[in-house]
């Protein structure tokens, strides 16, 4: 199999527009009176949740951002060549009053989102859980569908889609396929 050089699906500007699409979608769904918690799924979802919180604030919708680590809830334990470090989970103490928006960079099989839902429910019973993903690349293996999608490119099943974020990854910001 030949190794293809990484191909750019979106540059920094297009990534920013996709984030705006997500923010617009969320803004139309949330009325500004609900308590909104943006729970990023590590690693890149955490930074995206923070950015999304800023975009919502500009639209007059207050929210808080944190993280939900899903390692303990995965269904592929021991299939990934060693165990990666756990990341801190930051969720509100009184979760039952909040609407939780799960934020991830790439949606693929849906297994990550499923694990994230289970992880959040271990902390309480939020009023509502929504799922926002920057890139929906297709290939679902579970009936878990994002509520909000930034972009949905056509991607072949075997391809790897990576999101590079300034401040987290080296090189230029954008969405890449390899």
With tokens 């500007």, the residue in question is 13
Q: How far apart are CA 75 and CA 77, in angstroms?
A: 6
x/- string (CB under 8 A) for other proteins, residues 53-72?
A: ----------------x-xx
Widest CA span in the chain: 53
CB 101 within 8 A of CB 132: yes
Segment interacting with other proteins (CB under 8 A) among 3-11, 56-64, 80-88, 130-138: 80-88
Task: Report how many residues bind other proteins under the rule CB under 8 A.
Answer: 22
- Angle (CA) 10 23 128, round 5°: 125
Instruction: Assess 86 for contact with other proteins (CB under 8 A).
Output: yes
Binding positions for other proteins, 8-47, rule CB under 8 A: none
Inter-helix orientation angle 44-58/12-29, to 10°: 60
CB 135 within 8 A of CB 107: yes
x/- string (CB under 8 A) for other proteins, residues 102-141?
A: ----------------x--xxxx-----------------
Question: Do strands 7-10 and 174-177 pair parallel, antiparallel, or not at all (unpaired)?
Answer: antiparallel
CB 55 within 8 A of CB 23: yes
Decide whether 3 or 93 has the Cβ nearer to other proteins: 93
Decide whether 20 or 71 has the Cβ nearer to other proteins: 71
Segment interacting with other proteins (CB under 8 A) among 35-43, 54-62, 85-93, 102-110: 85-93
Cross-strand pairs, 174: 164
Instruction: Assess 1 for contact with other proteins (CB under 8 A).
Output: no
Decide whether 57 or 77 has the Cβ nearer to other proteins: 77
List of residues contacting other proteins (CB under 8 A): 69, 71-74, 77-86, 88-89, 118, 121-124
């Amino acid at each position: 199999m030949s190794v293809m050089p990484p191909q750019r699906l979106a540059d920094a500007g297009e990534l920013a527009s996709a984030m705006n699409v997500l923010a617009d979608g969320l803004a139309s769904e949330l009325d500004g009176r609900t308590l909104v918690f943006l729970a990023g799924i590590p690693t890149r979802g955490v930074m995206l949740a923070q950015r999304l919180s800023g975009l919502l604030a500009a639209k007059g919708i207050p929210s808080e951002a944190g993280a939900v680590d899903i390692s303990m809830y995965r269904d592929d334990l021991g299939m990934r060549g060693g165990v990666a470090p756990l990341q801190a989970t930051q969720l509100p103490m009184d979760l039952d009053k909040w609407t939780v928006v799960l934020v991830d960079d790439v949606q693929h099989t849906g297994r990550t989102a499923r694990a994230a839902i289970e992880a959040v429910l271990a902390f309480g019973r939020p009023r509502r859980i929504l799922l926002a993903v920057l890139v929906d690349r297709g290939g679902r293996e579970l009936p878990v569908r994002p509520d909000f999608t930034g972009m949905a490119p056509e991607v072949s099943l075997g391809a790897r889609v990576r999101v590079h974020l300034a401040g987290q990854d080296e090189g230029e910001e954008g969405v890449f396929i390899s």
